[in-house]
């Protein structure tokens, strides 16, 4: 069984428009800084 820290690890993604880094909150989310959307998810960045 994994630790709680492993399960709750926060992943971050970078906005391709303004390079602002924010928590990966899934698909369809806009950048908190510039409004670009949808933000990429970690899976998108790694080709998963």
In Å, how far from its chain's centre is CA 9? 12
In Å, what is the CA distance from 17 to each residue of 5, 7, 21, 28, 36?
31, 30, 11, 15, 7
Average pLDDT over residues 29-44: 93
Asked if 37 and 31 count as a contact pair (C-beta separation under 8 A), the reply is yes
Percent of the chain with pLDDT over 70: 77
- Domain holding 10, by residue range, is 1-48
Dist CA 2 CA 35 (whole Å): 35
pTM for this prediction? 0.68
Confidence of residue 48 (pLDDT cuts 50, 70, 90): very low
Dist CA 25 CA 37 (whole Å): 12
Dist CA 20 CA 1 (whole Å): 34
Q: How many domains does the chain have?
A: 1
């Amino acid at each position: 069984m994994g630790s709680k820290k492993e399960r709750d690890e926060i992943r971050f993604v970078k906005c391709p428009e303004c390079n602002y880094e924010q928590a990966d909150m899934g698909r369809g989310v806009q950048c908190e800084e510039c409004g670009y959307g949808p933000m990429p998810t970690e899976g998108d960045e790694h080709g998963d």
